[in-house]
Amino acid sequence: MASKHEISTLFVTIFLLLILGSSGSPRKSMRSRRPCKEMVFYFHDIIYNGKNSKNATSAIVGAPAWGNHTILAKYNHFGNLVVFDDPITLDNNLHSPPVGRAQGFYIYDQKDIFTAWLGFSFVFNSTAHKGSINFAGADPLMNKTRDISVIGGTGDFFMTRGIATIMTDSFEGEVYFRLRVDIKFYECW
């Protein structure tokens, strides 16, 4: 038969295992995996093509030695840097009233496939939203949907973080494209 001492040692061991088991992964159990807020926007990029300087909302500002600032370069546009100030709308119509601006840049960063890297902000100054949402990440353009990071925000979006799923909603002859941005915030204040 087990002695009193052995039984109490057993209980202490079980107690310790229970404590360790429940605190093994505190971050996972404390963080919610469901978004605290979701928003959908569209933004519209009209690329300068040598003829539309008044209408264009984006411009090639960097090109490799084999390219120029009018036409995106060969080899999947590798080395091009484009700066944009694009209208944001709530639906997919370019002529809908803009609710804000998408401002930033994209760089084409692979020679053998069509990929880009995005860094931009949604800037809002309306009665509905004031402040900004900041985005960054790799954009593998050949994928139907791409996830990029929501790395922060200001104003109504103070300290927010999440994931934005981007989808090319329309693409017209390297002059116009429209992106649908499905934002899921996982940290809200």
Residues that bind ligand NAG (CB under 6 A): 46, 55, 67-68, 70-71, 125, 140, 143, 146-147, 175-176
Q: Which CA distances in Å does 67 have to 72, 79, 169?
A: 7, 9, 27
Q: Which is nearer to ligand NAG, 147 or 187 (CB)?
A: 147
DSSP state of 3: -
Residue 84 C-beta: closest distance to ligand NAG, Å: 14
Residue 189 C-beta: closest distance to ligand NAG, Å: 21
Q: Which is nearer to ligand NAG, 13 or 145 (CB)?
A: 145
Q: Which is nearer to ligand NAG, 136 or 175 (CB)?
A: 175
Residue 2 C-beta: closest distance to ligand NAG, Å: 55
Residue 130 C-beta: closest distance to ligand NAG, Å: 7
Q: Which amino acid is at 155?
A: G
> Distance between CA 114 and CA 40 in Å, rounded?
25
Residue 87 C-beta: closest distance to ligand NAG, Å: 11
Q: How many CB atoms lie within 10 A of CB 114?
A: 13
List Cβ neighbours of 186 (8 Å cut-off, separation of 6 or more). Answer: 31, 32, 33, 35, 36, 161, 162, 163
**Inter-residue contact 125 to 100 (CB < 8 Å):** yes
Q: Which is nearer to ligand NAG, 19 or 142 (CB)?
A: 142
Q: Which is nearer to ligand NAG, 15 or 91 (CB)?
A: 91
